Amino acid sequence: MDKISVAKMPEDKISVAKMDFFRNATLKICSSLDIEKALWHCLLYLKNYMPASQMSLHLYDSNTGIAEIIAHATHEKYRALAIKMVLPEEGQQQIRADRALRIRRLERAGDDAVGAMPAKHLKCENQASLLMSLVIEGKFLGSVAVHGEPGCQFQPEHSRLLSLLNEPFSIALANNNRFRELRRFQNILIDDNHYLQDELRRVSGEEVVGAEFGLKKAMELVRQVAPLNSPVLLLGETGVGKEVLASVTHALSFRRKGPFIKVNCGAIPDSLMDSELFGHEKGAFTGAVSRKRGRFERANEGTIFLDEIGELSPEAQIRLLRVLQEKEIERVGGTQVIPVNIRVIAATHRNLDQMMADGRFRSDLYFRLKVFPINIPPLRHRISDIPILIQHFIQKKCQEMKLEKVPSLAPGIQDQLLAYQWPGNVRELENAVERELILSRGNRLLFNHINGANKKDSPSLFNSEFSNKISVQEESISLNQAMANHIHQALVNARGKVEGQDGAAERLGINPRTLRNRMKKLGIPFGRAVKKNFSSTG
């Protein structure tokens, strides 16, 4: 059928030739997910049957009358386009009136009300064209145009051949529309995710409160392990900030652009544990009306944080072990093995060694998780963080509660808070600040519910004789000011000595160089003259 006229063939041979043409041309149209490349393959095939020099594919929006050239191909190349134009009223009327006429043979493309504007953009308005409307279920989607070689005209048999490809082209254009829409939604989701991640970082803050003081050792370990894919086990009492350190580990890792999925293992019933973690297939159990992805599947290419890992059932422990060993999961009720690329960060306040000895926690899973354990000290062991945390939570909660005035602590209250044991750790401190802000109604914060029944025997870090000199300001103070006051008090207690035994750096638990840098940033003077002044006032 190469460059011969089907009109000269017997009827049976014409039928076979048309079938071959339809099959081969359809394969070209479906040869690539990129519709511009598929259009090029089709053009190279069509040129064997008609004087075709280029092809173009157009979308049409009946609501706006806008036509868009989305793909163009010549013998030498193909390209994706996004050239939009508003068709003249004559062209829009022609589309509405001629829906039944699927293909038009034009001696000159520039003379057609519909094809003139696209042909002008492609600089082929003086060439002959075949313009075929693409319609699915009565809806006009657009058109495909075959532009002829200069000086050549298309014949009726060329129109009949191209008309055989109406349905394949219509389906290809409809699928491309759906693909473009899905890609648009995907870009929106990616953009929204980036925005939300930026907002979370802005709200929570890039700097961990206490990172240079009581949490210094833990943060050093976080920075060491964050760039790796090794599992991390966070150990510490309830409320010490395990979730915060897990989030920081993810944010500092190469997976930070991936999802960070949090799972509270203690909050999921045993009967739903496997379904929540690994997902389920439709009909896997009563109520499973559709397929559901589990938390591990959602965390693919990212990090999953398993809080309260000690609450996992024995069955879930076995399946978690397989995830760590094989990097794959199976949905409940399914047989398909699904590979996952995840990093596991686990946390618990329980004694896993004792649970393992009692047979309540698998030893093989324990040693898989305990590749890099990080112990987070309780708040009573890092009282240097308390003043900074108090001011941080006061400002944070005032912002959340939309309070116009930021209240200050009443005189002597900071010593009382420093002497308290804080069995609920940072979470209890945050809740105590929120409660006090509600009760204070804009007045000074008294913390009457924090009494002396749980005070420590050891003396406060702040001597009472200096309690009226710092942290008891009439007006509200910033987080930096609270930190400056805290450092100032350490210098007072150390009689101006920055480093060495019993110096301010040792009292605060930080490196002397770090302390000096922070003092420079906060505008706190130091040196021999300042030390002499502290000694004379002592």
DSSP characters over 479-511 = HHHHHHHHHHHHHHHTTT--SSTT-HHHHHTS-
Q: What is the mean pLDDT of residues 43-49?
A: 93
Structural domain ending residue among the three candidates 142, 160, 179: 179
Asked if residue 1 belongs to a domain, the reply is no
Structural domain ending residue among the three candidates 358, 377, 396: 377
Domain identity same for 165 and 247: no
The domain total for the chain is 3
Please name which of 143, 198, 151, 142 lies closest in space to residue 53, comparing C-alpha atoms.
151
Domain identity same for 363 and 391: no
**SS3 category, 322:** helix
Asked if residue 527 belongs to a domain, the reply is no
pLDDT in tens, 129-181: 999 988 887 788 889 999 999 889 999 999 999 999 989 999 999 888 888 88
pLDDT of the residue at 199 = 55
Asked if residue 385 belongs to a domain, the reply is yes
Query: What is the domain-level CATH number for residue 249?
Result: 3.40.50.300
Domain identity same for 311 and 386: no
pLDDT in tens, 366-414: 999 999 999 999 998 888 888 889 988 998 888 888 888 888 888 888 8
**pLDDT surpasses 60 at 48:** yes
Asked if residue 470 belongs to a domain, the reply is yes
Domain identity same for 142 and 31: yes
pLDDT in tens, 245-275: 999 999 899 998 888 999 998 888 888 888 8
For 393, residues 6+ apart whose C-beta sits below 8 A from its C-beta are 429, 430, 433, 434
Contact criterion met (CB below 8 Å) for 166 and 134 = yes
Domain identity same for 458 and 343: no
**pLDDT surpasses 70 at 331:** yes
Range of 427's domain?
A: 380-493
For 146, residues 6+ apart whose C-beta sits below 8 A from its C-beta are 43, 46, 50, 52, 55, 129, 130, 132, 154, 162
Domain identity same for 310 and 399: no
Asked if residue 129 belongs to a domain, the reply is yes
Structural domain ending residue among the three candidates 345, 377, 409: 377
Give the Cα separation of 228 and 226 in Å (integer): 5
pLDDT of the residue at 65 = 85
pLDDT in tens, 333-357: 887 888 999 999 999 999 999 999 9
Asked if residue 42 belongs to a domain, the reply is yes
The pTM (predicted TM-score) of the whole model is: 0.55
pLDDT in tens, 13-42: 556 678 889 999 999 999 888 899 999 999
Domain identity same for 373 and 394: no
* Angle (nearest 5°) at CA 217 between 216 and 218: 95
Query: What is the domain-level CATH number for residue 452?
Result: 1.10.8.60
**pLDDT surpasses 60 at 12:** no
pLDDT of the residue at 453 = 38
Asked if residue 229 belongs to a domain, the reply is yes
Domain identity same for 106 and 237: no
Please name which of 93, 168, 158 lies closest in space to residue 131, comparing C-alpha atoms.
158
Q: How many CB atoms lie within 10 A of CB 61?
A: 15
Contact criterion met (CB below 8 Å) for 494 and 504 = yes
pLDDT of the residue at 513 = 81
Please name which of 21, 76, 79 lies closest in space to residue 44, comparing C-alpha atoms.
76
pLDDT in tens, 455-507: 443 333 333 333 333 333 334 456 677 777 788 777 877 777 888 877 888 87
Domain identity same for 11 and 135: yes
Domain identity same for 220 and 333: yes
Query: What is the domain-level CATH number for residue 89?
Result: 3.30.450.40
pLDDT of the residue at 15 = 66
Contact criterion met (CB below 8 Å) for 328 and 322 = yes
Domain identity same for 24 and 123: yes
Token pair in block for residue 232: 């991390």
Give the Cα separation of 21 and 19 in Å (integer): 5
Provide, rounded to the nearest whole percent, the portion of the chain with pLDDT above 90.
32
pLDDT of the residue at 3 = 45
pLDDT in tens, 52-61: 999 999 988 8
pLDDT of the residue at 100 = 53
Low-confidence winner among 115-124, 206-215, 324-333 (lowest mean pLDDT)? 206-215
Token pair in block for residue 181: 């829409």
Provide, rounded to the nearest whole percent, the portion of the chain with pLDDT above 70.
86
Asked if residue 512 belongs to a domain, the reply is no
Domain identity same for 283 and 311: yes
